[in-house]
């Protein structure tokens, strides 16, 4: 039985409590006893003079933040994916999604509404970086007619380098290669198809041309690695470093090809 059912004008120290009265007929002050309501000022007025409120409730209601607008599901998924690209490029496949959700500012459960598992999210990141951002028209640049070989290669890496020389791309490529992730095999196939094959077609024919294409891309890739991984040893002008790698390799590649 709760005390206020029998004593509507009284407040209880511990609720619910047994009804206890002393011999004089007044409420007992022992633990569990009922006490007159006038001894609790918050029952009628708080410290600010507000009736019917406990102390500090006016301040608490004033501090409640307004409700944030609802974000469409597609927009939220895009926001998560963009943040995950940067996150996994820094942390690798072992990065904790709880930290990612905290960085985005969303509950951890919301992240898994869009991506069922961390593996699915990382696979979506690799798909975004290795496949979706690639533009097929770049593959024709190394074979453009009426332009010198050096200029064709420079045009190719100026355009394609926005993706394949981006720090996020390079770091993710290293992570999936070192971890023997399934995306590593996909990346190797894509690089051979979209980068090495067009370069080899521009450099000549046969196995020697393909090897020269791998060597050329390896030299340019190393220039990008200085920026993405060894940040303290990055060149002062990354664009000039890539151009120097291309110009320096073209002469040697042409000399190595059979007449």
27 and 107 fall within a common domain: no
143 and 248 fall within a common domain: yes
142 and 243 fall within a common domain: yes
User: Are the beta carbons of 152 and 202 closer than 8 angstroms?
Assistant: yes
Number of domains the chain is built from: 3
Cα 199 to Cα 77: distance, rounded to the nearest angstrom: 36
Domain assignment of residue 56, yes or no? no
Domain assignment of residue 107, yes or no? yes
Please report the pLDDT score of residue 24 as a whole number. 54
Q: Where are the beta strands (DSSP E) in 58-156?
A: none
120 and 138 fall within a common domain: no
150 and 206 fall within a common domain: yes
Q: Say whether 121 sits in a helix, a strand or coil.
A: helix
Please report the pLDDT score of residue 52 as a whole number. 52
Please report the pLDDT score of residue 241 as a whole number. 83
Domain assignment of residue 57, yes or no? no
How many C-beta neighbours within 10 Å does residue 76 have? 17
95 and 198 fall within a common domain: no
250 and 202 fall within a common domain: yes
Which residue among 88, 104, 131 closes a domain? 131
108 and 191 fall within a common domain: no
What are the average pLDDT values for consecutive 10-residue runs of the chain, which has 259 residues?
A: 46 47 53 49 49 51 58 88 95 92 92 93 94 94 91 94 93 90 91 94 85 90 83 70 85 62
237 and 168 fall within a common domain: yes
Please report the pLDDT score of residue 43 as a whole number. 45
Domain range enclosing 21 = 3-47
pTM of structure: 0.68
Q: How far is CA 126 from CA 62, 65, 161, 165, 170, in A?
A: 45, 37, 17, 15, 11
């Amino acid at each position: 039985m709760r005390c206020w059912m029998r004593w509507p004008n009284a407040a209880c120290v511990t609720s619910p409590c047994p009804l206890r009265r002393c011999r004089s007929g007044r409420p007992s002050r022992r633990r569990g006893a009922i006490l007159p309501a006038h001894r609790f000022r918050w029952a009628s007025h708080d410290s600010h003079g507000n009736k019917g409120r406990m102390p500090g409730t006016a301040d608490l209601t004033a501090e409640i933040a307004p409700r944030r607008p609802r974000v469409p599901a597609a927009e939220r998924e895009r926001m998560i994916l963009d943040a995950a690209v940067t996150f996994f490029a820094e942390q690798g496949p072992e990065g904790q999604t709880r930290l990612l959700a905290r960085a985005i500012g969303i509950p951890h459960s919301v992240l898994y509404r869009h991506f069922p598992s961390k593996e699915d999210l990382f696979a979506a990141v690799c798909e975004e970086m290795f496949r979706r951002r690639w533009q097929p028209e770049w593959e024709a640049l190394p074979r453009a007619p009426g332009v010198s070989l050096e200029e064709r290669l420079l045009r190719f890496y100026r355009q394609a380098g926005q993706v394949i020389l981006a720090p996020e791309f390079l770091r993710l490529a290293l992570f999936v290669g070192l971890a023997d992730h399934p995306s590593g095999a996909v990346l190797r196939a894509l690089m051979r198809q979209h980068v090495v094959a067009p370069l080899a077609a521009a450099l000549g024919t046969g196995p020697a041309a393909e090897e020269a294409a791998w060597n050329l891309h390896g030299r340019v890739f190393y220039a990008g690695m200085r920026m993405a991984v060894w940040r303290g040893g990055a060149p002062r002008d990354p664009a000039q470093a890539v151009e120097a790698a291309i110009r320096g390799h073209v002469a040697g590649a042409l000399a190595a090809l059979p007449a």
